[in-house]
C-alpha cells in the first residue's frame, strides 16, 4: 500500500511554519517572566556591542574556539533595531528555521518518494524540548553549524550521486561551509569527516585530485579568521579542542545511552533522569534504536561486502547513518567534551540524522502494517505533548527579571557593580554598558573580559555597589569587604531574589 500523496508544497509550508512557531514560543514566551538571556548569551551580546564600536574579536572571549560570526550578524541587527536580547537571539532562531527547510531538501535527496521527506520534516518540525530551546540560544553556534552542515550534506549527495561527472564547484562550497562552520562551532567536523570518507570510498584517489584541493581551498577561505588568529596570536584552536582519549570510554558510552540520548530523543529534558512518560519513553527508545539497526542491516552489511564497488552500491541514506555514528564516535573520544552528556548540546548534529532515520523506518512500517504505523505516530505525538507540558520554555530560564534591580542601581547612582557570574554580564548587556560589573567569584566568567573587573576595582567607592543572588555563598565575604571600606552601608533585599549592598555617605 502506498502513502497518500497530499498537496506536497502546502504540507511542507505548513510543517515549516509549525516548527517555526514552536521554536518562536521557546524564544519569546520567557520574556514575560524572565530575563530570558543567559550569562553566556550576555557575553556574546556584549561582543556584538563592541563590534558596533569597531572592537572586533574572532572568538568568544577567553577561549580559542566558538567564533563571533553570529555576533557580527547580531551587531547588524543592533544597528538597525537597537541592542536587545531579541535582536541577539533572532540570529540563531532564523538559522534554526532554515535548518527545517534544509531537512526537507536533504530528505528529498535521500528518499525518492514524496511522503518520506514529509515524515522527516514532521519529526524535525515538532523537535524536542531540548532542541527547541537551543534553537534560539545565542553564542553557541549550534543552530548555525547544523544548518551549514545540512548544506554540506546536500552538496555532497549531489556530487556523489549525480549522473554526470564531478565539477569543482560543490567541493569548493563544501570546503567553504566547513571552514566557516569551524569558525562558528567546531562541531562542524561531525559533518566533514563522513563526507570526506564517502568521497574517498567513491574514488580512492580523491585526496590527490583537484577536487580535494577545492575542498581545502574553500576551507581556508571560510576559516580565514581562525587561521589568521592562530598564526598571528597565541591561539591554538585545534589543540584546545581535540583531546582524544579512550580512558573512561565505557563510562562515557553508558552516560550517553542512559542520560544523553533520552534528552536527544525528547523523552526527558536536560539535567533530568526522569522520563516525561515512561511507557512512551520505552516505545520511542526501542523504535529508534530498532530503526538504526534496520538501516544498518539493510545498508551497511551489503555495503561493507562491496567496498570495492562503492560507487555502484552505496545509497544516500548511507551517508546519513555514517554521520550518526561519526557524531557519537568523535564526541565520545573527545575527552574535553563528553562531560556534557546530560545536556548534549555538543551532539546537536544528530538532529540532521534522527528525523531521516525515523522516517525511513516508519516508511517501511507503513508497507507492512499501516495500523502499527499509526500507533507509533500517535506515541510520538503524545510524547511531544507530554514534553510541552513538562518542559515548557519557562523551565529553561531563570525565574527572575532584573528590572527592579536595575531601577535600584539607578536610584542609588551605582554604575560600578561587584556581582556574580549569573548577573554581571547580564547587567552590562541590558544597560549597554552604562553599568560595568565584575565577577567577584573568579573563574571563567571573570576571565571573559578582564578589563571589566579592573574598571570596577579602580572606580571610586561612591559609585560602587554589590548585587548578588541571595543564594551566593560569598555574600558574607562581600559584606565584610564593603564594611572595611566605607563607614556606613545599607543592605536591601530586592524581590526576594537579590541582595543589594551600597555605601551611604554623610
- 263/79 Cα distance (integer angstroms): 37
- Looking at residue 1, its pLDDT comes to 38
Of 82, 80, 76, 89, the closest CA to residue 44 belongs to 89
Examine residue 332 and state whether it is found in any structural domain, yes or no.
Answer: yes
* Same domain as 469, residue 374: no
- Looking at residue 33, its pLDDT comes to 87
* Same domain as 250, residue 146: yes
* Same domain as 345, residue 481: no
For the chain, what is the mean pLDDT? 91
- 431/83 Cα distance (integer angstroms): 10
Contact 327, 353 (CB under 8 A): yes
Residues 70-92 have pLDDT tens digits of: 999 999 999 999 999 999 999 99
Query: Of 344, 377, 395, which residue constitutes the final position of a domain?
Result: 395
- 433/410 Cα distance (integer angstroms): 13
Examine residue 287 and state whether it is found in any structural domain, yes or no.
Answer: yes
- 173/180 Cα distance (integer angstroms): 10
Q: Pairing relation of β-strands 489-494 and 498-503? A: antiparallel
Give how far the C-alpha of residue 44 lies from the chain's centroid of Cα atoms, to the nearest Å: 14
Examine residue 2 and state whether it is found in any structural domain, yes or no.
Answer: no
Examine residue 314 and state whether it is found in any structural domain, yes or no.
Answer: yes
Residues 265-311 have pLDDT tens digits of: 999 999 999 999 999 999 999 999 999 999 988 887 666 666 667 77
Residues 487-506 have pLDDT tens digits of: 888 999 998 899 999 998 76
Q: How many CB atoms lie within 10 A of CB 310?
A: 18
Of 206, 207, 198, 205, the closest CA to residue 300 belongs to 198
* Same domain as 298, residue 237: yes
Q: What is the per-residue DSSP string for 66-92?
A: SBSHHHHHHHHHHHHH-S-HHHHHHHH
For residue 459, what are the domain limits? Answer: 403-503
Instruction: Report whether pLDDT(156) > 90.
Output: yes
* Same domain as 437, residue 290: no
Residue 232 pLDDT grade (very low, low, confident, very high; cuts 50, 70, 90): confident
Query: Of 352, 376, 395, which residue constitutes the final position of a domain?
Result: 395
Examine residue 130 and state whether it is found in any structural domain, yes or no.
Answer: yes
- Looking at residue 386, its pLDDT comes to 97
* Same domain as 429, residue 374: no
Which of 228-242, 365-379, 388-402 shows the lowest per-residue confidence on average (mean pLDDT)? 228-242
Examine residue 1 and state whether it is found in any structural domain, yes or no.
Answer: no
Residue 97 pLDDT grade (very low, low, confident, very high; cuts 50, 70, 90): very high
Q: Look at the chain and report how many structural domains it folds into.
A: 2
* Same domain as 56, residue 171: yes
What 3 state SS string does 34-66 have?
CCCCCHHHHHHHHHHHHHHCCCCCCECCCCCCC
Which of 155-164, 186-195, 352-361, 419-428 shows the lowest per-residue confidence on average (mean pLDDT)? 155-164
Mean pLDDT calculated for residue range 50-63: 93
Amino acid at each position: 500500500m502506498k502513502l497518500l500523496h497530499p498537496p506536497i508544497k502546502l504540507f511542507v509550508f505548513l510543517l515549516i511554519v509549525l516548527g517555526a512557531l514552536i521554536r518562536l514560543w521557546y524564544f519569546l514566551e520567557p520574556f514575560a517572566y524572565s530575563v530570558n538571556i543567559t550569562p553566556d548569551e550576555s557575553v556574546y551580546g556584549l561582543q556584538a556591542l563592541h563590534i558596533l564600536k569597531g572592537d572586533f574579536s574572532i572568538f568568544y572571549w577567553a577561549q580559542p574556539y566558538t567564533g563571533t560570526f553570529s555576533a557580527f550578524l547580531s551587531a547588524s541587527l543592533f544597528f538597525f533595531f537597537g541592542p536587545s536580547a531579541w535582536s541577539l537571539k533572532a540570529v540563531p532562531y532564523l538559522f534554526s528555521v532554515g535548518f527545517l527547510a534544509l531537512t526537507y531538501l536533504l530528505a528529498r535527496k535521500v528518499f525518492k518518494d514524496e511522503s518520506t521527506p514529509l515524515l522527516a520534516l514532521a519529526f524535525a518540525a515538532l523537535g524536542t524540548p531540548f532542541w527547541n530551546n537551543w534553537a534560539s540560544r545565542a553564542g553557541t553556534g549550534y543552530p548555525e553549524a547544523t544548518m551549514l552542515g545540512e548544506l554540506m550534506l546536500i552538496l555532497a549527495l549531489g556530487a556523489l550521486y549525480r549522473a554526470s561527472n564531478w565539477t569543482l564547484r560543490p567541493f569548493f562550497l563544501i570546503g567553504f561551509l566547513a571552514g566557516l562552520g569551524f569558525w562558528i562551532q567546531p562541531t562542524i567536523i561531525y559533518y566533514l569527516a563522513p563526507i570526506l570518507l564517502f568521497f574517498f570510498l567513491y574514488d580512492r584517489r580523491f585526496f590527490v585530485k583537484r577536487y580535494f584541493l577545492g575542498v581545502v581551498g574553500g576551507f581556508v577561505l571560510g576559516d580565514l579568521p581562525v587561521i589568521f588568529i592562530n598564526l598571528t596570536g597565541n591561539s591554538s584552536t585545534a589543540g584546545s579542542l581535540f583531546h582524544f582519549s579512550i580512558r573512561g570510554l565505557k563510562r562515557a558510552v553508558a552516560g550517553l545511552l542512559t542520560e544523553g540520548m533520552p534528552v536527544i530523543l525528547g523523552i526527558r529534558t536536560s539535567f533530568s533522569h526522569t522520563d516525561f512518560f515512561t511507557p512512551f519513553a520505552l516505545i520511542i527508545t526501542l523504535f529508534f534504536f530498532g530503526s538504526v539497526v534496520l538501516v544498518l542491516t539493510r545498508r551497511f552489511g551489503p555495503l561493507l561486502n562491496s567496498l570495492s564497488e562503492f560507487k555502484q552500491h552505496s545509497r544516500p541514506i548511507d551517508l546519513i547513518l555514517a554521520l550518526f555514528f561519526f557524531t557519537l564516535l568523535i564526541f565520545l573520544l573527545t575527552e574535553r567534551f563528553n562531560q556534557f552528556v546530560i545536556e548534549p548540546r555538543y551532539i546537536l548534529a544528530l538532529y540532521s540524522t534522527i528525523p531521516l532515520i525515523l522516517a525511513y523506518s516508519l516508511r517501511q512500517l507503513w508497507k507492512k502494517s499501516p495500523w502499527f504505523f499509526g500507533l507509533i505516530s500517535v506515541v510520538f505525538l503524545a510524547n511531544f505533548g507530554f514534553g510541552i507540558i513538562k518542559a515548557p520554555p519557562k523551565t529553561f530560564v531563570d525565574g527572575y527579571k532584573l528590572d527592579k534591580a536595575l531601577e535600584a542601581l539607578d536610584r542609588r547612582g551605582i554604575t560600578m557593580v561587584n556581582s556574580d557570574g549569573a548577573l554581571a554580564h547580564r547587567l552590562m548587556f541590558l544597560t549597554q554598558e552604562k553599568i560595568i560589573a565584575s565577577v567577584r567569584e573568579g573563574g571563567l566568567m571573570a576571565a571573559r573580559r578582564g578589563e571589566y573587573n579592573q574598571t570596577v576595582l579602580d572606580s571610586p567607592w561612591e559609585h560602587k555597589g554589590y548585587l548578588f543572588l541571595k543564594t551566593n555563598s560569598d555574600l558574607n565575604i562581600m559584606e565584610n569587604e564593603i564594611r572595611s571600606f566605607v563607614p556606613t552601608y545599607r543592605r536591601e533585599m530586592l524581590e526576594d531574589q537579590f541582595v543589594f549592598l551600597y555605601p551611604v555617605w554623610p
